[in-house]
Chains A and B, each alone.
Chain A
């Protein structure tokens, strides 16, 4: 429950107010109008049998009515469907490449044309979704949970906890990702390459999230509702999870949805540096990186995977915006 709701309830809800404001003692003056003077209106009545609506339920209510959310959610669902069932969308095998088709333009059955190796670009874009979306979503989840938690703890507890965690963050900030990536790639040679990439990106992505969360928590910690909640006997930990974290979510959600795109792009960068996924795995990042040499001659080969990536990023950013707005009662522009 957010702080505005709480303040209002103490003033307007007579049944609760009665607990705090018993009948005046002799000599005291009444500072709240007696109930018979301002009768409760219908809208203000509270059904005490119904549990209070949660922040999430509230958010969902708002979201359902937000066209931005609906559009972006549909987009995201399509992207996820493509990622889960690529065969429904493309019949061609993305690995079936014939050099005689190299950089041929589109033709019936091959709407996007062919890349340098003569692979069907359309089917590579469709099949690449799984890898790229998996990298984006998994890394974002891991980074948000891990980085968010560390940042929240550091910001909330302060003192030596903050010092230790923040300095660890500093150390990780400075490690060049490529160095870590080469070492990780070699350490986990046997495991699936996709997880190695996710692990690498997480290991070097959480620090940013930790710092952002820490700063948001620092900011929220000092807001009035926190003091109020403490005064009402709430434990610090309960404060953190019930009040501070939900109120720090806005920048975290924005960062997370933004990063989702950057992680997918990072895979392209790793490929560009020669430490990305092997050719046996189809991914947007890998295809963007290989198409880079065709930039001036056959830009369309570069365009399609980039466009797929942009649409995915757009979907998640817009969704993130809508969710953030819905969670934050203040920014509701109703």
Chain B
């Protein structure tokens, strides 16, 4: 087990290198000249532009830029944004609120997704199952920006039940609506996945055996069916936590949350290589760690899966 963990942790090194290289290449390939765009619609003062390019190493070949970034990153110097702020402090401001938002969305989609999925799976074909089907259908087929705008208008403006936007220092209540909007799409997938797994596991031999042994329906489901049904669900949830953090661009924009998604989106539009790479690198680390946790959870959920 310890060896396995060590191996997985060592694997993070090539992953981080690969990601940074790939992202750097993508940002490099972005059309347009970020420095010229800083001048807006004005004619570009080429002399100043050249100075700015050299300040951000944008005048150097791609691979040199990348190596310089790596070299500085090793000393935890991630450079400055075009706005002249240290990248590290931009990240420091963006992540806390996004982590809060992502965790809330995660808990929301996890709990309600699994509960609805179980209900659907156990009452397969009945009205409750069908209602849940329609619900998940709605969640899938209405884009986030529409759900977000509708909820924001109804709850925030019309009925004034929740804050319309998250505000500067968002707390639980401020983030409630964004979290629900953010989590709702994945929730649909979780509902369907859980339902599927439940319906297929409930007719397994071991369930019959357990029932035959006189186990109560409740403990059959909790102890056996659920535990065996959760592997794909946990996989999905695990993969989703990173997605919730990086993919909240639209939700964060609607509710004016100055988090990772918003920062990343703006940085991409401006072509700010170092900022994009730094944020994505952190996201990759989160993905790698959650995928490790998920793999470890497999072993807990299914004792037959063992890691050497």
Contact = CB atoms under 8 A, between A and B. Distances in A.
B44 interface: no
A212 interface: yes
A170 to B, nearest CB: 5
B124 interface: yes
B252 interface: no
A219 B146 contact: no
Interface in A249-276: 250-251, 254-255, 258, 261-262, 264-265, 268-269, 272-273
Interface stretch (A20-28, A88-96, A179-187, A229-237): A179-187
B141 A261 contact: yes
A173 B265 contact: no
A182 B143 contact: no
Interface in B183-229: 185, 188-189, 192-193, 196-197, 199-200, 202-204
Contacts of A324: 196
B193 A222 contact: no
B133 A173 contact: no
A170 B291 contact: yes
Contacts of A186: 29-31
B204 A330 contact: yes
Contact of A269 (B137, B145, B284, B286): B145
Given A176-B246, A265-B140, 11 more contacts: A166-B291, A168-B18, A182-B30, A215-B294, A216-B232, A222-B305, A250-B197, A265-B141, A272-B250, A295-B146, A313-B137
Contact of B268 (A168, A176, A313, A325): A176
A1 B287 CA distance: 37
A317 B153 CA distance: 30
B140 A261 contact: yes
A177 B7 CA distance: 29
Nearest to B134: A314
B266 to A, nearest CB: 11
- Chain B contact-residue range equals 35 or more
A244 interface: no
Contacts of B197: 250-251
Contact of B200 (A258, A288, A331): A331
A111 B185 CA distance: 31
A43 interface: no
Interface string A21-43: 00000000000000000000000
A272 B30 contact: no
B65 to A, nearest CB: 16
A251 B264 contact: no
Interface stretch (A11-19, A46-54, A76-84, A302-310): A302-310
Interface in B78-129: 124-125
B15 interface: yes
Given A187-B29, A265-B141, A258 B22 contact: no
Contacts of A255: 189, 193
A211 interface: yes
Given A306-B141, A306-B146, A251 B196 contact: yes
B306 to A, nearest CB: 9
Given A174-B19, A219-B302, A296-B153, A208 B268 contact: no
A173 B203 contact: no
Given A186-B31, A261-B141, A212 B235 contact: yes
B131 to A, nearest CB: 13
Contacts, number: 181
A301 B265 CA distance: 28
Contact of B288 (A170, A273, A317): A170
B304 interface: yes
Contacts of A170: 15, 284, 287-288, 291
A179 B18 contact: no
A176 B23 CA distance: 9
Given A174-B283, A324-B196, A310 B138 contact: yes
Given A251-B196, A251-B232, A258-B188, A269 B140 contact: no
B243 interface: yes
Contacts of A331: 199-200, 202-203
A168 B300 CA distance: 25
Given A317-B192, A324-B196, A212 B140 contact: no
A261 B19 CA distance: 29
A171 interface: yes
A333 interface: yes
A61 interface: no
Contact of A306 (B31, B142, B203): B142
Contacts of B235: 211-212, 214-215
B280 interface: yes
A254 B196 contact: yes
B142 A171 contact: no
A211 B185 CA distance: 18
A18 to B, nearest CB: 27
Given A179-B276, A251-B196, A265-B140, A171 B22 contact: yes
B11 interface: yes
A32 B180 CA distance: 60
Interface string B25-65: 01101110000000000000000000000000000000000
A180 B231 CA distance: 30
A328 interface: yes
